[in-house]
C-alpha cells in the first residue's frame, strides 16, 4: 500500500491521498488533546536523589497521591512508617503492604494504626514515638491525610470531620512530634511536608482566628457557623497553611538546644487537581447518580485531571530538592506547586497576631475535645465493665435474688413441698 500511495503523491500531488481532509482533522484533534494532556500533567521531578537511611512518617499513604508518593519513596530506599486508619490485622491492608515491599524491594515499611479523626489516637502514637531515649531518627514527616466530603459530618471527638482530619490532627501530630524533630543532629536535613490545595484562597480565616468559640456546657469547638462543605475545606487548608508558617517561624526563632540554627524546613505542597478517591467523592457528591455521571464523563476528567503519580511529583520534589534544605536561612515556610516555589496568595497568613490567635484557639479546642472524649471513653468503659461483670456472675451461678440453685437446701425444700402437695391430691 505505501508504494501506490507514494506513486499517487508523485504523479497527482498531495491531493491524491485518499481521505486527506478527514485525516488532517483527526490529526489536529489528537494533536490538541496531546497538548492539553501534556499541559495538565504538570511538571516532573528532575531529582534522582536516593533516600537510603531516611526515616519518614506518612499519613494518607494508602490511596491517591499519598500511595503514589509512598511507592516512589520506598523505591528510593526510604524507611517508611505509615499511619493507617484501619486495624493492623486488616487482610487487605496487610496484603497491600506486602505487595509494596515486594515490588519496591524495600522491607523497611511498617504501619501504625492511627485514626486522624480521633485526637486520642493521634496522641497515642505521637507520645509513644517521642517516649524513647535516645531519640529515634526522623527525617521526614509527610502529612498527606486529607478528606473532602460533600456534606457536613462529625469526627469521633464531635468536631466537623474535615476540620478534624485536615487541620486539627495535623496540628496535633506536628506539635507533639516537635521534640523528636528538634532532637535530630544539626547536620541532618529534616523536613515537615503538608498537603495543600488551591482552595485555601477561598477559605475564611477570620471566623477561626477571631477566637469565636462556641460553648455548650463543657464543649468548645472552633466556630464553623454558616459554612458550606466547600468553604469548610478551603478554610481547613488556609488554617493549615497559617499553622505551617507559624511553626517554621517558631522553630527558626527558638533554635536548638545546642545553640545551632534549626535544621527543620516546613513545606506546603499543592499537587494540583488529581484523580484521587477524595476528588472522585467530591465530584460525585457521594451519590450513585453522581458516580454514574462521573463514569460517563470520565474521558473529560482523565484529560484535565492529573494521575496520582503525576500529582506526587511536587511532593517528591519537596522531599528531594537540595535547595530546600533547612539550616536557618528562611523564617517562613514555602508553598510548592509544579516542582517550584510559588508565592502565597493570601498575605494575611503572614500576620503574627493572626498566627498567634489561631494557634491559641486551636490548642484550646483540642484540649476541650480531648477532655470530653476522655470522659466519654471512661463512661463507656465503666458501662462495659458492669455489663461484663453481670454476665460473669450469671454464668458462674451467682444468680439474681429470688432464684434458686440446683442442689441447694432451698430447692430441696421446694421440691419436698411440691411432692407433699401431689400426695395429698392423690
C-alpha grid cell, residue 125: 502514637
Return d(Cα 155, Cα 161) in angstroms, integer: 5
Burial 204-219 (b: 16+ CB within 10 A, else e): bbebbbeeeeeeeeee
Please, are residues 183 and 217 in contact by the beta-carbon 8 Å criterion?
no
- Annotated active-site residue in 54, 237, 249, 306: 237
Helices and strands, counts by H and E, the chain: 15, 10
- Rounded to 10 degrees, the C-alpha dihedral 246/249/252/255 comes to -60
Question: At a CB cut-off of 8 Å and minimum separation 6, what does 188 contact?
Answer: 139, 263
Q: What does the angle CA 275 – CA 276 – CA 279 come to, to the nearest 5 degrees? A: 85
54 given a catalytic annotation = no
In 10 A of CB 72, how many CB atoms?
20
Between strands 213-216 and 334-337, the pairing is unpaired
Give the count of alpha carbons within 13 A of 52, CB side only. Answer: 2
Task: Tell me which residues are annotated as active site.
Answer: 237
Amino acid at each position: 500500500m505505501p508504494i501506490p500511495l507514494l506513486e499517487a503523491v508523485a504523479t497527482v500531488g498531495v491531493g491524491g491521498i485518499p481521505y486527506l481532509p478527514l485525516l488532517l482533522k483527526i490529526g489536529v484533534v489528537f494533536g490538541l488533546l496531546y497538548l492539553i494532556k501534556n499541559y495538565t500533567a504538570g511538571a516532573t521531578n528532575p531529582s534522582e536523589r536516593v533516600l537510603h537511611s531516611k526515616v519518614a512518617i506518612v499519613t494518607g499513604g494508602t490511596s491517591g497521591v499519598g500511595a503514589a508518593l509512598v511507592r516512589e519513596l520506598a523505591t528510593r530506599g526510604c524507611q517508611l512508617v505509615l499511619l493507617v486508619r484501619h486495624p493492623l490485622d486488616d487482610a487487605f491492608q496487610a496484603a497491600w503492604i506486602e505487595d509494596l515491599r515486594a515490588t519496591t524491594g524495600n522491607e523497611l515499611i511498617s504501619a501504625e494504626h492511627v485514626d486522624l479523626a480521633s485526637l486520642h489516637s493521634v496522641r497515642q502514637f505521637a507520645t509513644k514515638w517521642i517516649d524513647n531515649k535516645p531519640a529515634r531518627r526522623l527525617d521526614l514527616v509527610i502529612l498527606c491525610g486529607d478528606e473532602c466530603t460533600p456534606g457536613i459530618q462529625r469526627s469521633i471527638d464531635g468536631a466537623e470531620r474535615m476540620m478534624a482530619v485536615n487541620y486539627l490532627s495535623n496540628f496535633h501530630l506536628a506539635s507533639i512530634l516537635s521534640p523528636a524533630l528538634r532532637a535530630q543532629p544539626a547536620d541532618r536535613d529534616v523536613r515537615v511536608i503538608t498537603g495543600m490545595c488551591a482552595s485555601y484562597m477561598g477559605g475564611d480565616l477570620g471566623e477561626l482566628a477571631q477566637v469565636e468559640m462556641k460553648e455548650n456546657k463543657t464543649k468548645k469547638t472552633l466556630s464553623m457557623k454558616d459554612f458550606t462543605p466547600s468553604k469548610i475545606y478551603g478554610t481547613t487548608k488556609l488554617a493549615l497553611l497559617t499553622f505551617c508558617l507559624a511553626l517554621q517561624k517558631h522553630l527558626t526563632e527558638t533554635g536548638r538546644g545546642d545553640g545551632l540554627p534549626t535544621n527543620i524546613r516546613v513545606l506546603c505542597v499543592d499537587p494540583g487537581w488529581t484523580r484521587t478517591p477524595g476528588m472522585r467523592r467530591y465530584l460525585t457528591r457521594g451519590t450513585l447518580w453522581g458516580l454514574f455521571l462521573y463514569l460517563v464523563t470520565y474521558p473529560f476528567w482523565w484529560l484535565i485531571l492529573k494521575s496520582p503519580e503525576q500529582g506526587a511529583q511536587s511532593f517528591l520534589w519537596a522531599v528531594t530538592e537540595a535547595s530546600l534544605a533547612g539550616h536557618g536561612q528562611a523564617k517562613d515556610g514555602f508553598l510548592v506547586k509544579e516542582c517550584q516555589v510559588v508565592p502565597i496568595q493570601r498575605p494575611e497568613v503572614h500576620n503574627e497576631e493572626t498566627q498567634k490567635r489561631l494557634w491559641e484557639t486551636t490548642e484550646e479546642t483540642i484540649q476541650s475535645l480531648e477532655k470530653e472524649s476522655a470522659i466519654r471513653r471512661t463512661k463507656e468503659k465503666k458501662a462495659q465493665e458492669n455489663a461484663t461483670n453481670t454476665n460473669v456472675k450469671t454464668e458462674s451461678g451467682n444468680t439474681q435474688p429470688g432464684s434458686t440453685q440446683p442442689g441447694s437446701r432451698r430447692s430441696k425444700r421446694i421440691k419436698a413441698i411440691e411432692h407433699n402437695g401431689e400426695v395429698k391430691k392423690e
